[in-house]
């Protein structure tokens, strides 16, 4: 029975990753073949469908984590963990920027920030959706929750989720040209993965951290408008 459950869990994880690749390439194909269709609309529709599938696949785990967050944590504890995670990430990004200056790198910001600015110039509504909903819900289910029962060893989990999260962000944009483009993704993945395993693998808590962290550049976009 245990072997069957592990096989089903692995199959669900692999299927979700396969779906992610397929729908992304499918969207690119539609946009290329039908240039008259708004690309943001195509991507938004497919992104929403992927989120719904991801939530459906892990609805039991999400409900359980939300319940545990309400019963095991006080509001003050949640706020403390979220703020500590966000501040740590800001410090790590500042450290990366400092290293880039020391080594005279031409990379002034990570690709994620640059892509956000480009996307915002095309559609602010889709940018908000991509950052605050897709980037929080879909990505955290895909890169962490789906690996939860597949990789039970904490160290192996953090390592694997970091490699997958970092690698997947460059699959569709090409290989990075500098280590300083990669470091922010590595730092974020290690930090969120560590917080995840240290807090009984509660994905809802990690989503709150990711939501708050993504809110900062979004506010910056509105200020610079």
pLDDT reading at 108 higher than 60: no
Phi-psi region of 73 (alpha: psi -120 to 50; beta: other; left: phi over 0): beta
pLDDT reading at 143 higher than 50: yes
* Phi, psi angle pair for 205, to nearest 5°: -65, -40
Give per-residue pLDDT as tens, 38-79.
788 888 899 999 999 999 999 999 999 999 999 999 999 999
User: What token pair was written down for 107?
Assistant: 């990379």
Alpha carbon distance 42, 25 (integer Å): 12
pTM, two decimals, is 0.89
Higher pLDDT, 20 or 120: 20
What is the mean pLDDT of the segment spanning 10-37?
87
């Amino acid at each position: 029975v245990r072997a069957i459950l592990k096989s089903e869990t692995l199959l669900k994880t692999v299927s979700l990753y396969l779906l992610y690749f397929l729908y992304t390439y499918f969207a690119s194909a539609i946009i290329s073949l039908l240039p008259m269709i708004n690309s943001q609309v195509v991507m938004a529709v497919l992104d929403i469908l992927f989120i719904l599938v991801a939530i459906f696949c892990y609805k039991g785990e999400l409900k359980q984590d939300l319940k545990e967050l309400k019963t095991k944590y006080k509001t003050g504890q949640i706020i403390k963990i979220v703020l500590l995670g966000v501040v740590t990430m800001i410090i790590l990004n500042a450290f990366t920027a400092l290293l880039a200056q020391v080594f005279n790198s031409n990379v002034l910001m990570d690709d994620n920030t640059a892509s956000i600015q480009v996307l915002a110039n095309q559609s602010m509504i889709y940018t908000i959706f991509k950052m605050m909903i897709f980037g929080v819900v879909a990505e955290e289910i895909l890169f962490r929750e789906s690996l939860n029962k597949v990789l039970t060893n904490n160290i192996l989990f953090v390592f694997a989720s970091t490699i997958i999260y970092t690698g997947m962000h460059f699959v569709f944009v090409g290989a990075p040209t500098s280590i300083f483009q990669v470091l922010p993704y590595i730092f974020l993945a290690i930090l969120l993965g560590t917080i995840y395993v240290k807090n009984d693998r509660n994905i809802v808590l990690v989503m709150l951290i990711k939501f708050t962290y993504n809110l900062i550049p979004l506010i910056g976009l509105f200020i610079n408008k």
